[in-house]
């Protein structure tokens, strides 16, 4: 069962007590991802994430690293376009240790200059490594095409030139603006009680918040505005890769849009994780043209990015694109048959049910959803909504999102 409440500091809490009796998954999600950077703060959200582990008034960097590992736990973080999440996995008896640590590093980090000088080189190496991974890099470049001149189009890692300019004061300015309890969510998944959580969290952060208190008040009009569509048609980038990497797609529905779940079902039919997805059958099983063909849907508060990705020999790009177009037309030209719709619903609901056994992933998903929408539907609610989807509604969604006039294609050659 899920419980939600707010601490005196203004920090919202969501607690899910359906988990292992001996292990707890907990963390703090902050609405401070890439889209909240100012134009001169490229890569700041991700750099802050790295530097958050480098010291507080109470702990050194080494003490932070040892705090959970010394009791068999794990401490980690990630940066997204809208959220930065710090999280830990640990034995239940160390709840106070974990929540105290998480609160300290998120709200009290000092970002010492000596540590910053070292860590910026680590992040620059990460950028270079990412640039050498076209199958990953293409996702960022694709969103840059879809959302030009908008924060959602920025690369999460930023660029080396910007990172070399940042100082402790720059990171402190960023976090004083965005790292406040009112912009954050504490999430806990484990067999613990609300009373235990309340007793385990420090009363308030030592860093005083600056500016507005809540999420929306800290976002400029430019940042919160729904992004406009970007370039349509095909864009070719010479990267001299061994194989061509191709992505095509379009902006789609916001996470809370009633049509989002229908598009998620269509995306799963097209190129979900199952080997029997339509793109896998068309591009791999029947023709042997690709190793991977997938359809993804990345949700934000005011839009989402739907995309198809595949890698193939350079000589096979046109043929693969024709096969993808054929599969898209199958979904737009006629509604799914009753049998195909029932099979698609059964498959997606089964995948979602199995996914709940991954407690860490479930906890992170719960945190992001609650942070951005203040709502987390249960598995039963989601399955009910999926089963309520009708073939004509799905066809209408396909006609809107998969229309050739809306699609942008990015090709690394």
What would the pLDDT profile of 51-90 be if each residue is shown by its tens digit? 999 999 999 999 999 999 999 999 999 999 999 999 999 9
* Cα-trace Rg, the chain: 22
Cβ neighbours around 173 below 10 Å, total: 15
Q: Tell me the pLDDT tens digit for each residue of 153-167.
A: 999 999 999 999 999
Mean pLDDT, rounded, for 311-318? 97
List the strands of the sheet with 12-16, edge to edge.
2-6, 12-16, 184-189, 23-30, 84-91, 74-79
In the Cβ-directed half-sphere of 400, how many Cα atoms lie within 13 Å?
A: 14
Return the pLDDT at 205.
59
- The pLDDT of 211-227, averaged and rounded, is 41
E strands present in 119-165:
none
Residue 313, phi then psi, degrees to nearest 5: -60, 145
d(Cα 19, Cα 360) in Å, to the nearest integer? 10
Picking from 235, 276, 264, 42, the residue whose alpha carbon sits closest to that of residue 153 is 42
What mean pLDDT is predicted for residues 12-22?
91
d(CA 320, CA 315) in angstroms, rounded, equals 10
Structure tokens at 252: 């789609």
Give all domains of the chain, ordered by start, each with its CATH number: 2-221 (3.30.830.10), 233-412 (3.30.830.10)
What's the rounded Cα separation, in Å, for the pair 64 and 66? 5
Instruction: Tokens for 31, please give them.
Output: 């609405």
pLDDT tier for residue 227 given thresholds of 50, 70 and 90: low
Q: What is the pLDDT of residue 113?
A: 96
Q: H/E element holding 234?
A: strand 233-237
Q: Identify the three-state secondary structure at position 135.
A: helix
How far apart CA 314 and CA 321 sit, in angstroms, is 12
Average pLDDT of span 122-149: 94
d(CA 314, CA 316): 5
Tell me the average pLDDT of the chain: 92
Closest CA to 116 of 167, 60, 173: 167
């Amino acid at each position: 069962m899920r419980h939600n409440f707010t601490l005196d500091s203004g920090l919202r809490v969501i607690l899910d007590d359906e988990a292992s009796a001996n292990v707890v998954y907990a963390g703090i999600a902050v609405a401070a991802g890439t889209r909240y950077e100012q134009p001169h703060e490229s890569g700041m959200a991700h750099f802050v994430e790295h530097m958050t582990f480098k010291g507080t008034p109470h702990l050194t960097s080494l003490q932070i690293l040892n705090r959970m590992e010394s009791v068999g736990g794990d401490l980690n973080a990630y940066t997204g376009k809208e959220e930065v999440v710090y999280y830990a996995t640990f034995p239940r008896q160390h709840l106070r240790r974990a929540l105290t640590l998480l609160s300290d590093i998120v709200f009290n980090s000092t970002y010492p200059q000596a540590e910053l000088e070292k860590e910026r080189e680590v992040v620059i190496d990460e950028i270079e490594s990412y640039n050498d991974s076209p199958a990953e890099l293409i996702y960022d470049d694709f969103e840059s095409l879809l959302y030009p001149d908008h924060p959602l189009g920025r690369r999460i890692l930023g660029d080396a030139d910007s990172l070399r300019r940042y100082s402790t004061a720059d990171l402190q300015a960023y976090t004083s603006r965005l790292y406040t309890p009112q912009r954050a969510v504490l999430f806990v998944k484990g067999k613990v009680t609300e009373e235990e959580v309340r007793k385990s969290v420090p009363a308030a952060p030592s860093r005083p918040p600056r500016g507005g208190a809540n999420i929306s008040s800290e976002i400029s009009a430019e940042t919160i505005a729904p992004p406009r569509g970007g370039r349509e048609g095909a864009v070719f980038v010479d990267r001299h890769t061994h194989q061509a990497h191709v992505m095509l797609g379009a902006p789609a529905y916001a996470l809370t849009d009633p049509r989002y779940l229908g598009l998620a079902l269509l995306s799963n039919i097209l190129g979900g994780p199952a080997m029997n997805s339509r793109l896998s059958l068309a591009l791999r099983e029947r023709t042997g043209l690709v190793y991977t063909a997938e359809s993804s849907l990345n949700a934000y508060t005011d839009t989402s990015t739907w995309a198809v990705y595949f890698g193939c020999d350079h000589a096979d790009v046109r043929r693969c694109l024709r096969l993808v177009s054929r599969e898209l037309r199958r979904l737009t030209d006629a509604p799914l048959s009753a049998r195909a719709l029932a099979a698609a619903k059964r498959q997606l609901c089964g995948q979602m049910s199995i996914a709940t056994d991954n407690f860490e992933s479930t906890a992170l998903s719960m945190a992001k959803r609650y942070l951005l929408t203040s709502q987390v539907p249960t598995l039963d609610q989601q399955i009910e909504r999926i089963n309520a989807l009708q073939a004509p509604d799905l066809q209408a969604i396909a006609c809107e999102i998969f229309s050739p006039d809306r699609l942008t294609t990015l090709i690394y050659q």
